Amino acid sequence: MPYPADLKYTKEHEWIKVDGSSATIGITDYAQDSLGDIVFVDLPKTGSEITAGKTFGTVESVKAVSDLYAPASGTVTDVNGDLATAPEKINKDANHTWMVKVTLKTPGELNNLLSAADYEKFVSEEGGH
Amino acid sequence: MPAVEATTPTVRKTALNAVHRQMGAKMVEFNGWDMPVEYPSSGGIIAEHMAVRTGVGIFDVSHMGDIRLAGPKALAAVQHISMNDASRLAVGQAQYSALLYPQGTFVDDVIVHRLGEDDYLLVINAGTREKDFNWVRDNTRQFDCKVEHLSDDYTQIAIQGPKGVQLLQKLTDADLAAVKFYWVTRGTVCGLKNILIARTGYTAEDGFEIYVPSDEATSVRVWKEVLEAGKEYGVLACGLGARNTLRLEGKLPLYGHEISDTINVWEAGLDRFIKVDKPDFIGKAALEKAKAAALKKTLVGLEMIERGIARDGYKVLDDTGAEIGYVTSGSPAPFLKKNIALAYVPSKHADLGSVVKVDIRGQGVKAQVVPTPFYKRPKKV
């Protein structure tokens, strides 16, 4: 399946990969396909707080600006600097291109997220490919 | 990211709609039409844009409108409603112009083609079809000329790019080398007789637009033959996304953005398309008056000099953060590899090199006034 089983997903098409008390966040293949060529990514600085369900940045295609929604709350510890000059990496491999790393604040929030199977079902119902 | 919305069921479709969908195009509603915005099979907007700049791309532009004025006083009728001077047109020649309201603002921009002795074709925007036809009909009643709304009669396919002429020449007996830019001819195209072929476009590249009968079978056959003929040139089907980035690089106006019913010809910088010394036309008096007064705002080209993309409607600020204008059209420019925009600002901020800021989601991001057009196609040696 195109959606790695070790990740969890939001209905806004972000994924999160948990590793103990920290996690990595990106957007899904469905998201990059809907957007088309990604030309710009705006991400928070390290040290800033992100809140589950709230926007933490934007990703832009030629035609549109899309908000990024945080799958979980936490403090940003690392930001993928490659994306400032090569945002198209996300189009090439969205499932493995990380955007931010965070220290999780409330790991319990992860229970609200979708499994890979649930996300795939959600996407096919949304009229995705 | 928010969910994708479905288009409403009342949108119109061109005769090629099913083909675009079969090709897997991403569809979008544009001014009441269900149109392709990009084709993943082409590689998307950036690939489509580059194909037009370096090879050839084709567009379904059947949503555009067509109004024919024919009869003994057709020229007088056109002269009355159009700001450019149609009396300069030889048979087979075309010109860019605009229809103006009495206050000197835009009903629409238009390409006026002289098809015959007393036979003119106005090609107009998709979103203004009905408005323009009513305007033309109501403002030419005093002239001995027939006004016909032919928009639904044609499937219009644009073949744009340096290799466009080679592609189309494979499909027609017309001698395309003899057709200069902004001239038209008629010929057999894909076996169809007497087809209007215009060396026009909205991409700032060389290219042609062909007008074929709008029945689905003919339209689909021609589209597929054009794609087949273009294979050796790397032809790509292109959508409205690339259409917009291409015209923006070339500083071609878009109705509702750079031109509208609240913007006058001087503000839009379209001076060279208006002939104030021709006999009276709608809007002339207001424009002569406006010319004497100082311009309240002027259209400039901006290039982002700090990281960010200026987009339609974003505010333009001076260096104190005060709002001084707005972006009419803004986007990444795929060929130029910059982020560019057109914007209305007060004349004092319009000098080349002036630095302004664009309000991008609450942040003032620096941009510089640059010469336009941003892109000009290379001259043939």
pLDDT of residue B268: 97
Q: Which residues of A touch B248 (CB under 8 A)?
A: none
- pLDDT (0 to 100) of residue B292: 86
Beta strand pairing call for B33-38 and B106-116: unpaired
Q: Are A12 and B245 an interchain contact pair (Cβ–Cβ within 8 Å)?
A: no
Residue A117 touches partner B, C-beta closer than 8 Å:
no
Peptide bond into B162 cis (omega under 30): no
Over residues B346-379, the pLDDT tens digits come to: 999 999 999 999 999 999 999 999 999 999 999 8
- Residue A69 contacts B where some CB pair is shorter than 8 Å: yes
User: How many beta-carbon pairs below 8 A join chains A and B?
Assistant: 55
Whether the per-residue pLDDT at B53 is higher than 70: the answer is yes
CB contact under 8 A, A34 and B361: no
Query: pLDDT tens digit string along A76-114?
Result: 999 999 999 999 999 999 999 999 999 999 989 999 999
Q: In the predicted model, what is the mean pLDDT of residues B244-261?
A: 98
Question: Would you list which residues of chain B are within 8 Å, Cβ to Cβ, of chain A?
Answer: 1-4, 6, 26, 37-38, 40, 44-46, 241, 244-245, 307-309, 311, 331-332, 334, 361
What the block records as the tokens of B161 is 């790019």
**Which tens digit of pLDDT belongs to each residue from A1-60?**
569 999 999 999 999 999 999 999 999 999 999 999 999 999 999 999 999 999 999 999
Q: Which residue has tokens 């908000």?
A: A67
In the prediction, which pLDDT does A113 show? 96
Q: Does A78 touch chain B (CB under 8 A)?
A: no
Q: Quick count: other Cβ atoms within 10 Å of Cβ B358?
A: 27
Would you say residue B166 has pLDDT above 60?
yes
Supply the angle between the helices B45-54 and B240-249 in degrees, to the nearest 10: 50
The hierarchical CATH code for the domain A8-121 is 2.40.50.100
Whole-number Å distance between alpha carbons of B112 and B146 = 16
Which of B3, B241, B308 is the closest to A62 by Cβ?
A: B241
Q: Is the pLDDT of residue B7 over 60?
A: no
Q: What is the pTM of this model?
A: 0.94
Residue B316 CA neighbour count, 13 Å, CB half: 30
Chain B residues inside the 8 Å CB shell of A27:
1
User: Which CATH architecture best describes the domain B294-370?
Assistant: Beta Barrel (2.40)
Are the beta carbons of B275 and B84 closer than 8 angstroms? yes
A17 in contact with chain B, both atoms CB, cutoff 8 A: no
DSSP assignment of B164-230 equals HHHHHHTTBSS-GGG--TTBEEEEEETTEEEEEEE---SSSS-EEEEEEE-SHHHHHHHHHHHHHHH
The confidence band for B17, taking pLDDT boundaries of 50, 70 and 90, is very high
H helix runs in chain A, sequence order: 29-35, 82-85, 89-92, 116-125
Measuring CA to CA, which residue among A63, A76, A68 is closest to residue A24? A76
Of the partner residues A27, A40, A126, the one whose CB lies closest to the CB of residue B309: A40
All structural domains of chain A with their residue ranges? 8-121
CB contact under 8 A, B1 and A67: yes
- Between the CA of residue B358 and those of B195, B244, B305, B314, B367, what are the distances in Å? 46, 20, 11, 7, 7
d(CA B351, CA B30): 34
Look at B331 and A36 and tell me if their CB atoms are within 8 Å: no
Place of tokens 């990009």: B38
Query: DSSP secondary-structure letter at B295?
Result: P
H or E segment at B22? helix B17-22
The residue among B5 and B46 whose pLDDT is bigger is: B46
Which CATH topology does B7-292 take?
A: Gyrase A; domain 2 (3.30.1360)
Q: Please tell me which of the candidates B46, B308, B311 has its beta carbon nearest to residue A37.
A: B46
What residues pair up with B93 in beta bridges, in sequence order? B183
Tell me the per-residue pLDDT of B187-234, one tens digit each, with 9 for 90 and over.
999 999 999 999 999 999 999 999 999 999 999 999 999 999 999 999
Q: Is B370 left (phi over 0), alpha (psi -120 to 50) or beta?
A: beta
Min distance B159 CA to chain A CA atoms (Å): 22
Domain boundaries, chain B: 7-292, 294-370
Would you say residue B135 has pLDDT above 90?
Answer: yes
Residues of B in contact with A127 (CB under 8 A): 4, 6
The answer to whether B93 and B118 have CB atoms below 8 angstroms apart is no
Q: Does A37 touch chain B (CB under 8 A)?
A: yes
Give pLDDT tens digits for B274-329.
998 898 999 999 999 999 888 999 999 999 999 999 999 999 999 999 999 999 99
Q: What are phi and psi of B378, to 5 degrees?
A: -65, 140
